[in-house]
Amino acid sequence: MPPSRPPFAALVAALALAAAGLLAAPTAAAEPRGGTAVVAVTGDPGHLNPAISTAGPLHAVADSMFNGLVALDRDGQPQPDLARSWSIAPDGRSVTFQLVPGVRWHDGKPFSSADVKFSFEELLLRLHARARAGLAPVLEAIETPDANTVVFRLRRAHPALLRQLDVTEAPILPRHLYAGTDPNRNPANLEPVGTGPFRFASYRRDEQVVLVRNPDYFKPGLPRLDRLVFRILPNANTQVAALLAGEVDMLQRVSALDLRRLQGQPVTAVDTRAAAGGANCVMTLAFNLERPRTGDLRVRQAFAHAIDRTRLLRLVAFDQGRVAAAPIASGIAWAHLPGALDAWSYDPARANRLLDEAGLARGSDGLRATFDVLHFPAFARYTDLMREQLAAVGIGLRVRLLDPAAFVPAVFTQRDFDLALISYCNGTDPEIGVRRMVHSSAVGPVPFSNAAAFRDAEVDRLFDQAGATNDVAARGEAYRAAQRRLATLLPYWWLVETDFSAAWRSELADFAPWSSQFAETAWRRR
């Protein structure tokens, strides 16, 4: 059964229709240019290197300075970007990309196939969680026969390849600035040099990032804006107030509740399942399986029964999405397994029995145990409600709010957590965003990889099987079998599939909020 249309969509559609007369693209003759767009983001990015992290706040800012080999349109279909064309061998085991000639980095150095090869081999396949998990097992070699040609040699056919090559999944970085350095500490992470539509101007931590138009961008007529300013405003109410006051022009994520405040205002709103950092995102509770209590399946089962996910959807996400039905998001319909998580319905009585069986007895204060939970500040409303629900079965939550710069080492390097609340984006194929969560090869210090440290030979086998064929039916069957096992072992508890609405003032037009290059075609009305 296809996913139902979320109840907030009608409101979004009404706002969009109200502004329909303002949405027509400018004619080529008009070519509007100039002005500034101020965009609110929910958290400080920490750094501006999109090749070494999949954090949403980072990609919301940094992707506008870089490009991938391809871009993805609103339907998730690959379009030319740094690669103007590509051809796939009949056996699917090699893909040849012809690059756009004459592209230059923001510092004036020429871009070439050597930058592509370096970015994959030295950055993405080592440090980008989704690229490392999805591409490293299949990429046998990258060849560069000339400056404008790149050949990917594959160990096997890989049906998800092209969708893994946009600026979010595989940004291309300058070899001349990163070769021979530690990419996690390179000064260019804070003063980036890309090929993208906007160049870096300044970064004030916890305040704002300023980008300026790249006059040498390889796409004629783009970008149209002179400046793109990202203001860091973690509080949703503050963001909406700033939009209404004209202090910011765009909100990349707006709740259904806040959309109601925008009714009757000169605002355009668009709903999408994709946003900065990825598509088909699921709010997910990761259990640290390396700790005794969260390593106990009965404790994980108790969490699943104790958390009322319908209330999370209604009171936190304001019905902007769906209760997660399976480990793979419903937006990837051919691989999704409806009802996979039905066995773990909200049942506090069952949760209490499981906690008793696990030996977590109530103390004199009624508390069985307290668990640390780490997450970004923007997710605080989720743990506020979960704290209330879990208290009913004697579980306490000790919440630690961390920005990306602190969250990543705490979870993925130091392993200093019981629980981590993460928005895991599945992408448009399980090979892109799900494999990195559950495959044993993805356990390690790479940001936003397998946070649970989950290892299971059968899940590995099923994902490897699904990733090795172009037969969609066979792939779907393998992924569904993997989900049945994941739903039994519960390395994570999948909470809510989150949809996104973006909103912007009607002085601006042609934002593409489903794209990593959301402001590439935007323009300000005179």
Contact 82, 196 (CB under 8 A): no
Residue pLDDT, tens place only, 374-397: 999 989 999 999 999 999 999 999
Residue 15, pLDDT > 80, answer no
Q: How far is CA 376 from CA 184, 387, 500, in A?
A: 20, 16, 17
Residue 29, pLDDT > 60, answer no
Residue pLDDT, tens place only, 318-356: 888 999 999 999 999 999 999 999 999 999 999 999 999
Contact 299, 390 (CB under 8 A): no
Q: How confident is the model at residue 405 (pLDDT cuts 50, 70, 90)?
A: confident
Helix, strand, coil % over all residues of the chain, rounded to 5: 30, 25, 45
CA 490 to chain centre: 22
**CATH T-level assignment (fold) for domain 278-498:** Dipeptide-binding Protein; domain 3 (3.10.105)
Contact 193, 177 (CB under 8 A): yes
Residue 441, pLDDT > 70, answer yes
According to DSSP, the β-strands at 208-213 and 227-232 are antiparallel
Could you list the beta-strand ranges (E) of 111-190. Answer: 139-146, 149-154
Tokens of 60: 């919301």
Task: Provide the 3-class DSSP secondary structure of residue 142.
Answer: strand
- What is the pLDDT at residue 20? 37
Tokens of 168: 């979010």
- What is the pLDDT at residue 418? 98
DSSP 503-516: EEETTEE---TTST
User: Distance between CA atoms of 197 and 199, rounded to whole angstroms?
Assistant: 7
May I ask the CATH architecture of the domain 70-178? Alpha-Beta Complex (3.90)
Residue pLDDT, tens place only, 409-418: 999 999 999 9
The sign of the CA dihedral 383, 384, 389, 392 is positive
Tokens of 434: 């799900």
For 475, phi then psi, to 5°, come to -60, -45
Task: Provide the 3-class DSSP secondary structure of residue 460.
Answer: helix
What is the percentage of the chain residues whose pLDDT exceeds 90? 76
Contact 71, 86 (CB under 8 A): no
Residue pLDDT, tens place only, 62-99: 999 999 999 998 888 899 999 999 999 999 999 999 99
User: Distance between CA atoms of 175 and 263, rounded to whole angstroms?
Assistant: 48
**CATH T-level assignment (fold) for domain 9-47+196-273+500-524:** D-Maltodextrin-Binding Protein; domain 2 (3.40.190)
Mean pLDDT of the chain: 91
Asked if the domains at 70-178 and 278-498 fall in one CATH topology, the answer is no
User: Distance between CA atoms of 501 and 493, rounded to whole angstroms?
Assistant: 25
Mean pLDDT of 436-459: 95
The answer, as to whether pTM is greater than 0.95, is no
User: Distance between CA atoms of 82 and 101, rounded to whole angstroms?
Assistant: 9
Residue pLDDT, tens place only, 108-136: 999 999 999 999 999 999 999 889 888 99
User: Distance between CA atoms of 3 and 9, rounded to whole angstroms?
Assistant: 13
User: Distance between CA atoms of 63 and 277, rounded to whole angstroms?
Assistant: 9
- What is the pLDDT at residue 31? 63
* DSSP assignment letter at 110: B
Residue 7, pLDDT > 50, answer no
- What is the pLDDT at residue 238? 94
Residue pLDDT, tens place only, 352-367: 999 999 999 999 999 9
- What is the pLDDT at residue 30? 56
Q: Where are the domains of the chain?
A: 9-47+196-273+500-524, 70-178, 278-498
* DSSP assignment letter at 53: -
Residue pLDDT, tens place only, 189-245: 999 999 999 999 999 999 999 999 999 999 999 999 999 999 999 888 999 999 999
Place of tokens 């935007």: 522
User: Distance between CA atoms of 208 and 61, rounded to whole angstroms?
Assistant: 10
Tokens of 82: 């740094």
Verify cis geometry, omega within 30 degrees of 0, for the bond prior to 57. no
Task: Spell 271-285 as b/e; 16+ CB within 10 A means b.
Answer: bbbbbbbbbbbbbbb
Residue 26, pLDDT > 90, answer no
Q: Which of 27-31, 49-53, 153-157, 176-180 has the lowest mean pLDDT?
A: 27-31
- What is the pLDDT at residue 14? 42
User: Distance between CA atoms of 106 and 297, rounded to whole angstroms?
Assistant: 51
